[in-house]
A and B are shown apart, each in its own frame.
Chain A
Amino acid sequence: MFSDYSMSELGAIFAMQGFAGLILFSVFVLMALGLAIIFGQMGVINMAHGEFMILGAYVTYLTSNLFAAWLPGVFGMYFFVAMILAFIASGALGLFIEWAMIRHLYKRPLDTLLATWGLSLILQQVYRSVFGAREVGVSIPDWMMGSLPVTDMIEVPINGIFVMVLATGISLAVYYMMFRSSWGLQVRAISQNRVMADAVGINTAWTDRLTFGIGCGVAGVAGSAFTMIGSTGPTAGQLYIVDTFLVVVFGGAASLLGTIASAFSISQAQSIMEFFLSGSMAKVLTLLVVVGILMIRPQGLFTLKLRK
């Protein structure tokens, strides 16, 4: 299959596909981070995770329209405001859902899965009623348009670079929160021994709610970033949910580094295969390999060995 291409062409293809893979990687990381907090640390399956992302995307869409109408002078900067608003909107919804639903189901993970699926259906319908069934796109600020030529055969799009930078920044922020802040310590303490954490004076109920809220907020930011590379529709969240869960499980649910490593390997595999196979077959093969590895090594890539 390589014979049709010259060496330099092949190099350029790999570089470009590799870069496409890096963008996909960033997307996966952004999606998976929120889930890694919620599923990895709390063990809660949130099937509505995609809808929390889409909420962030719609908030970004609204913000861009607001800026275009009222503040056209600073339109270039709207995105940063939108990201913060997306975090607040998705996070607030997350806090509410934890209070209304999730906290009653901590001991029944499979039931959480079904209930949050119901939530995702409701949210989809709400989006459809409010924003219409058609996909909406935001106007990307001028400075994010276009691409940077690296060599005469390789070009990289600026919005892609922006998403990558964003993914790196948010990963670092999550890392700091989880492993360097006292809140992170509390979250990890609860995930290891809830009763003991309660006994030493951690407000487990509030920490749970906050963790869930922050996980959802991060999803909102991810959704916000998505608007830079694609359009948003009411059911877009559902498309990603399986990929996202596989990324988190594949990485070893409790490991942030694992999540990032697995996002990297899955995205690279998929985007490089996509060039040689049809998109759907690349996807099928990637998923099959991931599921196959998970069958052989169910604990994921990175886990500790402990007495059960």
Chain B
Amino acid sequence: MERSSNRLFTTQDILGFAVLAVIIFIVLPMALDSFRLNLFGKYLTYAFVAVGLVLCWGAGGILSLGQGVFFGLGGYCMAMFLKLEASTPKNTAIQSTPGIPDFMDWNQLTALPWWWEPFNSLFFTMIAVVAVPVVFALIIGVAMFRRRVGGVYFAIITQAFAAILTILIIGQQGFTGGVNGITDLRTLHGWDIRTNDAKEVLYFVNAGLLFACLLIAQFVRKSKLGRLLIAMRDQEDRVRFSGYDVASFKIFIFCLGAAFAGIGGAMFTLQVGFMSPTLVGIVPSIEMVIFCAVGGRLSILGAVYGALLVNWAKTSLSESFPELWLLGLGGLFIAVVMVFPNGLAGVYAEHIAPRLSGLFGGKTGAAKSPKETPAE
């Protein structure tokens, strides 16, 4: 007897991945001009966070309201490298201290702080983009999960971290660029990231990385660890008394989510050309949760669609009716919780998939996921 959940990909999964790949790698690049494509590249960086949230929140029941922190840490690591490369003594000759980032000079700093030094190395930066968020998540995770803090308390504490980091970045503008963030980024190892060609290349790099993360997420969900997460969400004590160290699994999944978010942040910096505290704080962090919720908190592919759709709606609406956007977003939060707790993926599984399979007369898993209860 073959059991579907044991295989890494069911037919349906392959179909889902393929459709998304076609949309991201073929349809969008062909349909959009390079400005819009870059915009969608930016949305896709949020999808990294949303996929991490599916693992933590949807599968594991751990709601973090501080994913912006990890997104920001990854993004700032990348921005620091790019800023240092942009701040050659030649480019900054008019400063009173040439060779350091402009905002440091404006804030009367006369030397590069020691912790900026390693970011001269691209290799170090690439490691830091993942490692810094992960170490940070590890500290929070160990402290919280070892003491069995979860649920709303965890949400509030992670939100407090988002607040703390924002205040810190804004307050320490000599070291961080303050409220404006780190701007005026130019080249990556001499390659100008501001040109249309570069942006197109970065879009594909970003999409490739996103798919790598999606595959990792898929592997984790289909492994025994994925089933353990579901089990923990429903019966944490039973898992514990089946001989599992529950905390270590939560820490792992939280760190994995942080790693994804860090990569997303770094790609954001590369594609958009700046990093600022507005992407770190409470508001962006909770908006990232809504990307995940709209797509379906249990579906990693749904998270990507959620991130694309909500951000696309945000851009279109706030271009034409800025005052409507907040109302719309607020309504979305309420609707997705009260009416569609499983988001787009739920709507698809309940309404579209059965009809599709009826149309084709096949058995493309119509009876799949009858009613997975949303995490509390």
Contacts and interface: CB of A to CB of B under 8 A. Distances in A.
Interface of A: 43, 45, 101, 104-105, 107-115, 117-125, 128-129, 238, 241-242, 245-246, 249, 278-281, 283-284, 287-288, 290-291, 294-296, 298
Contact of B323 (A43, A129, A249): A129
B330 A122 contact: yes
B230 interface: no
Contacts of B323: 125, 128-129
A242 B153 contact: no
A121 B170 contact: no
B164 A288 contact: yes
B160 interface: yes
B152 A119 contact: no
B333 A117 contact: yes
Contact of B334 (A119, A128, A284, A298): A119
A224 to B, nearest CB: 24
B30 interface: no
A108 B376 contact: yes
A114 B327 contact: no
Given A111-B341, A115-B334, A280 B374 contact: no
Nearest to B147: A298
Contacts of A113: 63, 65, 152, 155
Contact of A284 (B143, B164, B293): B164
A115 B326 contact: no
A295 B329 contact: no
A121 B333 contact: yes
Contact of B374 (A108, A124, A125): A108
Interface in B147-179: 147-149, 151-153, 155-157, 159-161, 163-164, 167-168, 170-172
A291 B153 CA distance: 11
A45 B332 CA distance: 18
A79 to B, nearest CB: 31
A107 B341 CA distance: 13
Nearest to B289: A114
Among B167, B331, B336, B341: residue with most chain A CB under 10 A: B167
Given A122-B327, A287-B164, A105 B337 contact: yes
Interface residues of B, number: 46
B19 interface: no
Given A108-B376, A114-B293, A242 B282 contact: yes
Given A101-B338, A109-B152, A298-B153, A121 B290 contact: no
A114 to B, nearest CB: 5
A281 B331 CA distance: 36
Nearest to B65: A113
A122 B323 CA distance: 10
Given A104-B338, A245-B160, 5 more contacts: A110-B375, A117-B286, A280-B172, A287-B163, A291-B161
A250 B160 CA distance: 12
B167 A109 contact: no
A298 B164 contact: no
B160 A242 contact: yes
B353 interface: no
B202 interface: no
Contact of B155 (A110, A288, A294): A110
B144 interface: yes
Contacts of B65: 113
15 contacts: A110-B155, A112-B337, A113-B155, A114-B290, A114-B337, A118-B332, A123-B330, A128-B326, A246-B156, A249-B153, A283-B171, A287-B163, A287-B164, A291-B161, A298-B149
Contacts of A105: 337-338
B258 to A, nearest CB: 17
Nearest to B148: A298
B168 A242 contact: no
Nearest to A125: B326
A121 B337 contact: no
Interface string B307-339: 000000000000000010011011111101110
Contacts of A288: 164
Contacts of B160: 242, 245-246, 287, 290-291
A82 to B, nearest CB: 27
Contacts of B283: 238
B159 A125 contact: no
B240 to A, nearest CB: 13
B376 A110 contact: yes
Nearest to B237: A308
A298 B330 contact: no
Contacts of B57: 110
Nearest to A287: B164
Contacts of A294: 153, 157
A234 to B, nearest CB: 10
Contacts of B329: 118, 121
B289 A109 contact: no
A203 B323 CA distance: 41
Contact of B330 (A110, A120, A128, A290): A120
The 9 closest A-B pairs by CB, nearest first: A118-B333, A280-B171, A121-B330, A122-B330, A295-B143, A125-B326, A118-B334, A118-B330, A298-B149
A119 B327 CA distance: 9
